[in-house]
Amino acid sequence: MSEKLRLTVGGENDGDRLDAALGELLENVSRARAQKLIKEGAVLVNGKAEKASKAVREGDFIQVDMPDLNPPDLVAQDIPLDIVWQDENLAVINKQQGLTVHPAGGVYEGTLVNALLYHIKDLSGINGDIRPGIVHRLDKDTSGLMVVAKNDAAHRSLAAQIADKTCRRIYFALLEGVLKEDCGTVEQPIGRSKTDRKKMAVVPDGKYAKTEYSVVRRYDNYTLARFRLYTGRTHQIRVHAKYLGHPVVGDKTYGYKNQKFALDGQLLHSAEIGFLHPVSGERMTFTCPLPPYFLKVLDTLGKKQNG
């Protein structure tokens, strides 16, 4: 028996070798096993057989005929879910901080996917049984807007818009320290850290990454900043903020180990997302306010500054 998996290459794997990308896209599958599957002809990229060394691109579709794959059935769980808008093709979700987007590392419960299975009837199957409906991701401790596909046609359209950089994504973050410039652009390649493979970093041989930023408000020792993503590398804003010398407040991975505020994660929020509707072609833009814990910190800083 075998299962046909359909996967979408995200920005974090753009430019990777096919075998390396499969090693990351398929949970619990080593790169060596990925190479074996490719050699056996069990892997197609956009409908064509390719070599393991083939460089894949963001938005590519990979089909894998995976033998003897028996992932546990995902459980639909009644996890609170803020559905901002939906129709028969897609849903826009305001994800809460602390919620992992999809199962990974042998954990198959308590994720956004489990919540989607409970609250939404139909989800696209392009990314297989483990990631139904998931077109793009937010980090576990990043809150805010993301779009979910309810069918494969919508998924392809949305994935293509993200790959073509026509999907508009705006974030707000509170940064450590005071940014001198009112605005700027970071174009620095991002890849695996040379000293800690669990982290990302600005590295010479990394993948192209572009982030625009502008100052919203300066506080004593902090800056509220607006970011626009042009690429979708793993932890992109957090890594580029660290590169600027102003890591995101609450980010213990890329920021300060000793935080001054009692937070459950980084103060980074996906505040706006815009795209063309996959069927009507209408331009759609959604916004959502900063979460209460984020606003509470800003309120505290504002009172100190004005007091």
- Active-site residue numbers? 139
Report d(CA 236, CA 254) in Å as an integer.
11
Report d(CA 179, CA 292) in Å as an integer.
24
Where does 75-193 show beta strands of DSSP type E? 82-86, 90-95, 143-149, 168-176, 183-187, 190-192
Amino acid in position 62: I
Distances (CA, A) of 93 to 88, 115, 245: 14, 11, 31
Residue 222: φ, ψ to 5°: -145, 160
CB < 8 Å & 24+ apart, contacts of 253-260: 253/199, 254/199, 255/176, 256/176
CB burial readout 257-292, b (16+ within 10 A) else e: eeeeeebebbbbbbbbbbbbebeeeeeeebebebee
Taking residue 306's Cβ as centre, other Cβ atoms within 10 Å add up to: 6
| Residue among 269, 97, 301 nearest 173 (CA) | 269
Q: Which residues are within 8 A (CB) of 188 and not within 5 positions of it... i.e. 6 or more apart?
A: 202, 206, 209, 240, 243
Per-residue tokens: 54: 């083939």
